[in-house]
Amino acid sequence: MKPLSLPFISKLALAIISIIGIGYLIKLGESILAPFFLAFLLALLFLPLSNFLEKKLWFPRSVSTIFSLLILLFTIYGLFYFFATQLSSFSKDLPHLERQFTVLFNDLQKWISKTFDVNTNEQFKYMNEGLNKLLSSSGIIIGFTLSIFSSGLGFLFFCVIFFIFILNYRRILNRFIVNVFDEKHKSKVEDTVLAVQNMIKQYITGLIIQIIIVSVLTSILLSILGIKYAVLLGVLTGILNVIPYLGISISALIACFISFATGEASTTVYVFLGYIGVHVIDGNLILPFVVGSKVKINALFSFIGIIVGEQFWGIAGMFLCIPALAILKIIFERVENLHAWGKLLGEDEKPFKKKKRVKISETITLEEKD
């Protein structure tokens, strides 16, 4: 049977309709798809451990899954405990921070009065109107906070459930993906699935190492500068750094804000310059040597992905969009007709580019990953 040939306009219309339909389904299934995708990434991360327990120690599939789950829950509990204790310490210093902000606000108010010739009473009037609006909407704010907390617990619950199922039924899922395609493509599909699994495991592992290194570097920097809550700000910077460009900018603003409120203006400048230094080290050393370039997404599509991810899945979408784009990039580069899309998502390739090497010692040399 002769394949149907459509004009370019018809193909373009079908492609646009398909993209809109897929986007609508992704948005509609936010409460299920977002935790499922995160659970999928975590399952790939724990896959080597589960295979080791089953093949080397002869653990049953259910026992290896429960063991992996316990490690995951222990890690989540450790993060919650860390942030809870740090925020508890932060809340004790809130009165001091409030006094500091009051002094800074008064100085700013005097500067506005002298520079723009605005009456102080008018400034207080504007502030009181804003405060009354804020207080009148306190019920909405409390409800919004409770909804975020409850939705966060629901997200975590579904993520844990999906994590168990994906690890426990991973062979069935893998067999389904392979059997969906024709028999003549079976070997190629198996190779592609295996390559995607290995690459994503390396990517997620590299991402975790990157978070740890950036957190340690930032904590040391802020500790040397004498900034309060240096460890809390450092860990927050490492986690937010998962969001390219935007994450490091937000964490830098938070650190500069706290530095300005608790210290001197000159220290704030040093904090800002230090964050620029950490970003340079991350982009030129940590990212190429730890994460690699095969899954590196260029700045344009990273930014577009963050915006689209936030529109679809909120804050979770901002964190998950980059791994999603990395998976798409790997698949596109493996499928013959989609090579151009893979090149579009990646960085500009330079011919005959030598890999970077950093010599740590006589026996240890770091080499840039592919």
Q: pLDDT (tens digit, 9 = 90+) per residue, 260-288?
A: 777 777 788 888 999 999 888 887 777 77
Q: How many CB atoms lie within 10 A of CB 251?
A: 24
* Contact between residue 196 and residue 327 where contact means Cβ atoms under 8 Å apart: yes
Give me the phi and psi of 365, to 5 degrees please.
Answer: -135, 125
Q: Which residues contact 2 (CB under 8 A, 6 or more apart)?
A: none
Give me the phi and psi of 366, to 5 degrees please.
Answer: -90, 135
Closest CA to 145 of 137, 247, 251: 137
* Contact between residue 261 and residue 97 where contact means Cβ atoms under 8 Å apart: yes
Q: How far is CA 223 from the centre of its chain?
A: 25
pLDDT at 177: 78
pLDDT at 11: 74
User: Is pTM beyond 0.95 here?
Assistant: no
Straight-line distance from the first to the last Cα atom of the chain, in angstroms, rounded to the nearest whole number = 43
Q: Which residues contact 324 (CB under 8 A, 6 or more apart)?
A: 37, 305, 309
Q: How many CB atoms lie within 10 A of CB 124?
A: 11
Low-confidence ranges of the chain (pLDDT < 50): 131, 134-150
